[in-house]
Amino acid sequence: MCDSCGCGHSHPHFHSAGSDHTPPVPATRTVEVRTSALAVNQRYADENRGWFRAKGLHVFNLLSSPGSGKTALLEKTLPRLPHSAAMVGDLQTQRDAERLRNSGAQALQITTGATCHLDAHMVAHALERLNTDGVNILFIENVGNLVCPASYDLGEAKRIVLLSVTEGEDKPLKYPVIFQKADLVLLTKMDLAAAVEFNREAAVAHLRAVAPNAAVLDVSSKTGEGMEAWLAWLESSAAGA
Ligand SMILES: Nc1nc2c(ncn2[C@@H]2O[C@H](COP(=O)(O)OP(=O)(O)OP(=O)(O)O)[C@@H](O)[C@H]2O)c(=O)[nH]1
Ligand SMILES: [Mg+2]
């Protein structure tokens, strides 16, 4: 007897979402499929990484919630790094790539349809459209999502996670995986920090609880606060420091 939903059936507690109580897929099969998808992704990611190295491209994967300011930051960053280019993932529209092209840079859009993250195979296809002449830094703006993109290596050299002051200080505790894998965490929209009573100390303490070694920088794409430190971090990272 199922006590939790009172349906009268005898079954383990992993119902399908529907109300017809079709037999559930055994949990072990779900794990196998996921593991296999990630193993395939890893092969593509390793190939991408080799290709990036051969081309002398330093690749940064930018991850965050929707609207944390990834594109706004790149709009300010790309013109400061003349040998940089970007690709950007969204479910639909070319809007972010158009914004980035308006800042004078080469920018490619990847539309994922219903998929909540970029994977290494999508990036490999987009690389066929990338003109690498004179490019030594490539930014990949991932689909806005604090969960799914964390599991997919794209072949990048470094991961940068943005946390905007408007999201709340607890996000590193609630979504630890993405922060644990970050080389750098950018606290964005610092110009709004006072207005939303952002508690920086608490945010950093929560981040440190899950990611003790990630670098942390404060930035604002509106005021330019922190831009020099951000650019210096990128340049030293691209130089292999
Ligand atoms: N005040 C302020 N607003 C910002 C800043 N950065 C971005 N915004 C605003 O935040 C909103 C979202 O910015 P985007 O750059 O589109 O965010 P995103 O992370 O690229 O969003 P997705 O691609 O949808 O995940 C826009 O209205 C920006 O103008 C900032 O530093 N300060
Ligand atoms: Mg964007």
CATH number of the domain residue 198 falls in? 3.40.50.300
In the structure, what pLDDT confidence band is assigned to residue 35 with cuts at 50, 70 and 90? confident
Judge whether 93 lies within some domain.
yes
Number of domains in the chain: 1
Give 50 Cα–ligand 1 centroid separation in angstroms.
Answer: 32
Judge whether 5 lies within some domain.
no
* CB burial string 72-108: b at 16+ within 10 A, e below: bbbbbbbeebeebbbbbbbeeeeebbeebbebebbbb
Sign of CA pseudo-dihedral 110, 222, 58, 102: positive
Q: What is the mean pLDDT of residues 143-171?
A: 98
Phi, psi at residue 202, to the nearest 5°?
-65, -40
Judge whether 143 lies within some domain.
yes
| pLDDT of 22 strictly over 90 | no
Structural domain boundaries enclosing 128 = 27-238
Percentage above 90 pLDDT, the chain: 84
Judge whether 16 lies within some domain.
no
pLDDT value of position 218? 98
pLDDT top residue among 123 and 25: 123
Selection from 78, 133, 126, 122 nearest residue 100 by Cα: 78
* pTM for this prediction: 0.88
Q: Is ligand 1 within 6 A of the CB of residue 192? A: yes
Q: What is the mean pLDDT of residues 127-150?
A: 97
Judge whether 3 lies within some domain.
no
Q: Is ligand 1 within 6 A of the CB of residue 71? A: yes
* pLDDT tens digits for range 74-119: 999 999 999 999 999 999 999 999 999 999 999 999 999 999 999 9
Rounded to whole angstroms, the Cα distance separating 108 from 127 reads 9
Q: Is ligand 1 within 6 A of the CB of residue 109? A: no
In the structure, what pLDDT confidence band is assigned to residue 25 with cuts at 50, 70 and 90? low
